[in-house]
Structure 1
Amino acid sequence: MRKSRTTAAKMRDRRNTNLSISSTDSTNSTTTNSPGRNSLNEKNGFDSSPPSPSLLPGPVTKENRPRPSCRRQTAMRVLLAAICALLFTWRCLLGWPVTSPRSTSPAPDQITIQETQLVAGNDLPDEPTALMVTDSLGPSKWTVSIPHNRSFPLPSHQYKDICTQATGLQHTISTTIRPHGSRHWWREQFRDFKDSTFLDVADAERAGMLPPFEDPAPERCQRSLTFVLESDDASFGKSLLLLWLSYGLARHQGRAFFLDDTRWAWGPYTSYFTAPPTPNCSPPPAHQRVPCPRSATHLVVSSATAAWIFGSTFQQEFQAARKHGVDAQSRVYDLARNGFNALFKLAGEDSLFAASRIAKLKDDAATHGGSMIGMQIRRGDLHPFEYQYSRDYLPLERYAHGARELSRTLRGDNEASEDFSSIMEYAESPLILSSDDPDIMDSYELLQAAAPLIIQPAQERIQLATKKRLDKTSPVALLRNGAYVKHVDENIGWEGGFYSALFSSLGGAKRAASIDVETIPEQALRLRQLVGRAYLLDLAVLSESDGVVCAISSASCRALGVMMGWDAVTDGRWMNVDDGRTWSWTGQR
C-alpha cells in the first residue's frame, strides 16, 4: 500500500511538472529562440513550449469584432439611392411630365394637319373648326369653335374634320410647345385620360377666347352626351352597338344622355323603340357640344367620330391589361349591356308579338326535351374575318355543325358521335334561323347539314321577300312597244343578302335622298322601317335562345352576345364560328 501511494505521488508530481510553466521560463524561451527559426524548424515547432497567454490575441466579442468595410459602402450606396429616389419623386410631384399615351385617332403623319392659331381678339373662322388658343397667362391649348348660328347636329363630315384637326393640334402642342408631353405620372398610373391640352368651350368663352354666350335656358345639364344616329352607315347592328356603348359611357361618366335621329336613314327612332329616358335638365347649347375629346363637358358621339371616342385610349381605360380573351372585355361589355337594358324596348305590337313567339318556341323545345338553338347568318356586302373566306362566305355546314354541338352540350351529351338520327328529340328541337338572305332558308346545303334538325324562321310577322315571290304577287308587264326595249326589272328582291346600295334604293329613293332624310320618299321610308322591324324581331327572338351560332364579323352577332348576357358569352352558349375570336364590340382581337 505504501509503495503504491508513493508511486501515485510521483506520477502526480510528474504530471504537474509537465503542465506547469513559469512565466520566467516562457519569457526566456521566447527571447532566446528566433521565431523564424522555430517556424522553419519542424522539431522546434513541436518541441517548443506554447507562447505566453499575455502574447495571445484577446477573445472575439461583439464589441471588438472587426466590421468589413464593404458593408459601410453598401449602406452608403443604399442611402444615396434613396435620396435620388426621393428627389425624383419630389420632382414628379412638382409636375415633371412624362410621355403621353397613344392618341385615340389616326397618327398625325397620316392626316393633313390643319392648324389655326388664335390670339384673343382675332376673328374666328366662319366654319366649325378646331383651333389653337394662345394666352400670355398660360400654355397654348386647343379648343373647338362652332358658330352660334349653326343648327344641331352638324354634318357628319364636319364632326370628322374637327377631330382630325384636333389630332394635329394635340400633336403639335405635345411635341413642339410642350416637348416633354403633358401627362404626369400619376395620371398614367391611375388611368386618367383627360386631355390636358384641351380647353373646354365654356372655359374659352369665360376667358374671352371665344365669343360669350348668354344662356336664357334654366337648369342646363352640367355634363352631357348626345348620340347622333347617322345615315352614312346603313348597318342597323353597328348603330345599335354604338348607341348602347354611348349610353353606358354616359352613365359611367355621370352625363345626361340625349338622342338625335333627325338624320337617320332608317327614320324616327320611335318607329322601332320606345323613347329613351328623359334627363331632368335641359340640353346644352349646340355650339358647346363637340365631337372630341372624350373628356369634353358636352360630347357628341356618332359613327363618324367613333374612332376618336372609342379608340385606343378607350381600350386602355376600360380593357383589363392583365387579362386575356373575353375576360379583358368585361368592363366594355358592361357598358354595352347597360345600354341594351335601358334602350332595347320594342315599340307597339312588335313587343307583344316577340314575347308571344318566344314563348311558343320555348314551349315546343320543353315539350320535346330539347333546346332552343338559334343561327344568325349574314351574307350580302359583309365578308368574314377568316382569311380563307375573306372574299367569300363561311360554309353553311360550319353553322350547322356549331348548332349540333350546342344541342349536344346543352343536353349534357358528351359523346363525339355525329349520328343524331337515333335521337328523335333532336328532330323536334327548334333550330331558329335569321338571315339577311331569304334564300338561305331553302338552301339544300344548309338543310342537309342540319338534318335531322328542322329549321324554322325566327319570326314570320315581317319577312324579306325574294324576286320570285314578288313576281308572283306583283307580275311585271312585258313592254312590247318598239323593236328594241331595254329590259329593267321592276321587282327587286333580297337575294344574296343585305347591300347598302339596295337599301338606299328602296322605294325608288335616290342615293342623295338616303343621306338627306327630309327628301326620302314616304314609300321608301315605309319599306326601310319594315326591314328594320323585321331585323329587330329576329334579334329579339334569337337573344332568348338557349344558344346562338353566328359569325363575329357581323355586328348582329356581336349585338346578340350583348343581348344574351355575360354568362352566355363565357359559357360558350354564344358561339362564334369565324376565325376563332372571342367577343369584342368591334370584333377585333
Structure 2
Amino acid sequence: MAPPMDIHRSAHPKVMIAPPRLNLRRAASYQGERGPSSSTTSRFNFNHLIFSSPPPSPGLPALVPRPRKSSSAPRPSRVLRVLVWISGLAALLILFRALIQGGERILVVGRSFEGEEQYEMVGQDELPEFPTPIALTDQHGKSRWTVSIPPSSEFPLSIKEYSDICTKCQEVAAHVRALRGKSPLSQHASQDYYYEDPYFIDVRDAEKKGILLGVQDKKRAVPTEAQDGHLVGQRKDGLADMETCRTSLTFVLESSDAGLGSALMMLWTAYGLAQKEKRAFFIEDSRWAYGQYTDMFKSSPVQNCKPPPRHQMLPCPRNAKHLVVSAATARETFGTNFNVEYENTKRTDVNREHAIYDLARIGYEALFHLNNDDHPYVNKRVKELKEKASVPQGNYNDGTIIGVHVRQGDLHPFEYQYNGAYIPLDQYAQKFQELIEERHNFSTPLGGEDIVAKQHSFMVVASDNPDVYETDEFKDSFRAQEQIKLAGKQLEEVSKPEKWVMHKFIDESFGWEGGFFASMFWNLGRATLHNADGTDDDDNSQEAEQPSADTVRLRGLVGRAYVMDLAVLGQASDTVICTMSAMGCRLLAVMMGWDKAIAGGNWVNIDGTFMWTGITL
C-alpha cells in the first residue's frame, strides 16, 4: 500500500488548496476536449491546481488586472467620436457668443420662391445679406421687430425689393404679436393711418440701444457715393457740420408707369404730407425715366439738415423715422388708410377731398418751378395769350381764355360709351361754345351784348396727339406752347416706282402719332430690334437695361413739353375743359387753385360726372 500523500510537508511555494467554492469540472475542461487515453492518464491528480501565480483571494484585491470582458455592443468609430467632440465644441461657442450678444435671437423672413406667397420664418444669429424685416427675441423671450438693410446695399433699392419689404413687414408684425400673446389688430387699429406698432424698433433706435450692433457684421462694406443715390434738396457743402435730420421723407422718382402725371401728383402729395408731419423732404432721381429732376424743374427746397444713412430709410412701417415713398410703396402711403384719415367722410360732394387737395397744392407751390430755359418762355407765352384776350378800353369785359386738355394715346375715358375709344373732339368744341354763351350772352351797362368780349375769347389747346391741332374743331385755337412740339407722322405722296428698276430702301416715316403710348415711350432711342414687340409685360424689365444718353434726352424733351403745356393752361386759362380720366386734368385743377377751379366751377370735366380726386391706385 502506498503511503498517504503528505500535502502539508510539500515545499512547492505555488501550490495551494482550491477554495471550497471552486467548481471542479470534468477532466476534459482542463485537459482539452479529448478524454483520457488510458486508465493511467485518467487518474485524478492535482496538476490542474498548479499555477504560475496563485489565484486571487475572494476577500483580497487582485494582484494583476483582470482581463477585459468582450462586449457584443459595437463601439463608436474614432471619426464619429471626433465629430461628436467638434459638435459639442461648436455648441459651446454658439452659446458663449449668444451670451456676449445679450441673448438676442433673430427671426428672418426668408426669400420667397417663385410662385409662393407665404414667407418662411428662419432662425439665425447673423443679420441677413439682403433687405428684409427681422424679428428679435431677447433672453427674456420678449420679441420685437425692425427692418434690416445691409449698409452695402445700393440705394435706392429696386422696385421689387421695396414692394417685398412692405409685404413682409405685415407678416413679421403679425408674427411678433403672436409671440407676445397678443390678438390680431382690431379693424379700427388696422385702419388708423398713424397707428404706431409698440413692438417695432426703428433702425436708428435699435443701433443706439445696441440691439443691431450686437449682431451686425462689422466687416461690411461702407456705402460709396454710387450707392448713396442722388438726392435733390440736399446741401452740397457743409454736410459734415450739419446734424442728421430727426425725421425725413424721401420720394423716389422711379416707376414702371411711363406717365409723368401720376408721378407729379404723387410727388406733390408726398411733399405736402411731409410738411404736415414735419419731416425733411428729399427727392431721389438716379433712376428716373425722364432723366434728372433738375433738367425739368428747379431744385426742391434745400433742407437744413443732412439725410440719414441710407440703410435707415425704410419703405415701411408708416411710423418709421426716415420713410421712403415710391410708386412701389404707394399703397402703404396713399392707400385706403390714407383716404380714411384725410377724406371728410361726412361730406358727399367734392369737399370730401378738400384735405387731400390741400396737400397736393402745397407740393405744387413748392416744387412746380420750371428750369431756367422753360420758365421765361412760359411767362412770355402766358402774357401773349392774355394780351390777345384783352379788349380795348371802354368795354365791359375781356375775352375768356378756355384751356382744353385732350389726352388720347393708351388712355381711354371713364365714361362707358367712350371707354373703348376717346371723347369726341366736337364735345370739347360744344362745351366751349356753351361756356362763352353763358358768360358773355348778356346786356352790358352800355347796352347790347358783350360781343367784343366774345370776339376776344378763344381756346388754348394742349394734347399728346399732334394731329388734334389740325382738326376742324381746333383750327382756330392756339397751341399752349410752341417751344417743344411733338411731330406727327406726315404722309407724303411717293411716286410709284417702276417695276423693273432697283430703288434705294426708304425707311417708313416715324412720328408721335395717335398720342402718348407707354410702349413708344420706353422704346425711344432704342434699336429697331427692341421695337418688334410693342408690349412689355415685365414691370421690372425697364430696370435691367440702362437707357442711353440719347434716349434720356428724348424722354426729357417729352416731359418738358408736357409740363410746359400744363403750366400755360394752368396760368393763362380762365376755365379748363378736360377729362378726369387723365391725370393731367386733375393736375390742372390743383394748379388753378381750389377757389377758382372747384368752388368757382372753372374746372370742367366732360368725362362723366366724376368729382375731383387725387392719387388713384
Q: TM-score, normalised by structure 1?
A: 0.70
Separation in 2, partners of 1:196, 1:579: 45
Q: 2:328 is paired with a residue of what secondary structure?
A: coil
Contact 1:508–1:524 under 8 Å retained in 2: yes
Match runs of 1:424-573 below 5 Å: 425-444=453-472, 446-447=473-474, 454-468=476-490, 488-489=507-508, 491-508=509-526, 515-516=542-543, 519-544=546-571, 545-567=573-595, 568-573=597-602
1:485–1:131 CA distance, 2 compared to 1 (3 A): farther
User: What does 1:151-550 align with in structure 2 at a 5 Å threshold?
Assistant: 151-173=154-176, 179-182=182-185, 192-211=194-213, 219-367=243-391, 369-411=398-440, 423=451, 425-444=453-472, 446-447=473-474, 454-468=476-490, 488-489=507-508, 491-508=509-526, 515-516=542-543, 519-544=546-571, 545-550=573-578
Inter-partner Cα distance in structure 2 for 1:191 and 1:507: 43
Aligned AA (1:466): G
How far apart are 1:380 and its partner, in Å? 0.5
Deviation at 1:251, TM superposition (A): 0.8
2:119 maps to what in 1?
114
CA contact (8 A) 1:117 1:132 kept: no
Aligned partner letter, 2:390: A
Deviation at 1:561, TM superposition (A): 1.0
The Cα of 1:170 is off from its aligned counterpart by 3.5
The number of aligned residues is 460
Which amino acid in the other structure matches residue 429 of structure 1? S
Q: Which runs of 5+ in 2 are unaligned?
A: 1-114, 223-238, 393-397, 444-448
Instruction: Report the Cα distance in structure 2 between the residues aligned to 1:556 and 1:199, rounded to whole angstroms.
Output: 40
Q: Secondary structure of the equivalent of 1:282?
A: coil
CA 407–537 in structure 1, closer or farther in 2 if over 3 Å, else same: same
The match for 2:145 among 132, 136, 142 is 142
Moved more, 522-531 or 221-230: 522-531
Q: Is the 8 A contact 2:159 2:255 kept in 1?
A: no
Q: 1:258 to 1:493 in 2, by over 3 A?
A: same
State the 1:192 CA deviation: 4.0
What letter corresponds to residue 487 of structure 2 in structure 1?
A: A
Among candidates 133, 136, 139, match of residue 136 of structure 2: 133
Alignment check: 8 A CA contact 2:315 2:324 kept:
yes
Cα distance, 1:537 vs structure 2: 0.9
Q: Given the superposition, is the C-alpha separation of residues 408 and 195 from structure 1 closer, same or farther in structure 2, using an over 3 Å criterion?
A: farther
Which digits, 9 at most, give the CA deviation of each residue in 1:223-272, with x for residues without a partner?
01111110422111111111111111111111111111100010011111
2:440–2:450 contact (8 Å) kept in structure 1: no
The CA distance in 2 between the partners of 1:552 and 1:174, in whole Å, is: 43
Distance 2:569 2:299 in 1: 23
- The secondary structure found in structure 2 opposite 1:519 is coil
- What's the RMSD between the two structures over aligned residues? 3.6
Question: Helix, strand or coil: the match of 1:580?
Answer: coil
Residue 32 (structure 1) aligns with: none
Q: If each structure's helix is expressed as a fraction of its own residues, which one has the higher value?
A: 1
Find the residue that maps to 1:434 and give its secondary structure.
strand
| C-alpha separation in 2, matches of 1:182 and 1:587 | 26
Partner of residue 89, structure 2: none
Conserved? CA contact 1:117–1:133, under 8 Å? no
In 2, the alpha carbon distance for the partners of 1:481 and 1:149 equals: 66
SS at match of 2:461: strand
Q: Contact 1:276 / 1:343 at 8 angstroms: preserved in 2?
A: yes
Which residue of the partner structure matches residue 36 of structure 1? none
Corresponding residue SS for 1:114: coil
Q: Which residue of 1 aligns with 2:6?
A: none
Instruction: Return the index of the structure with the highest Cα Rg.
Output: 2
Q: What's the TM-score once normalised by structure 2's chain length? A: 0.67
Residues 364 and 485 of structure 1, relative CA distance in 2, 3 Å threshold: closer
Is the 2:442–2:450 contact (alpha carbons within 8 Å) kept by the matching residues of 1? no
Please give the alpha-carbon distance, in whole angstroms, between the structure 2 residues aligned to 1:183 and 1:280.
Answer: 39
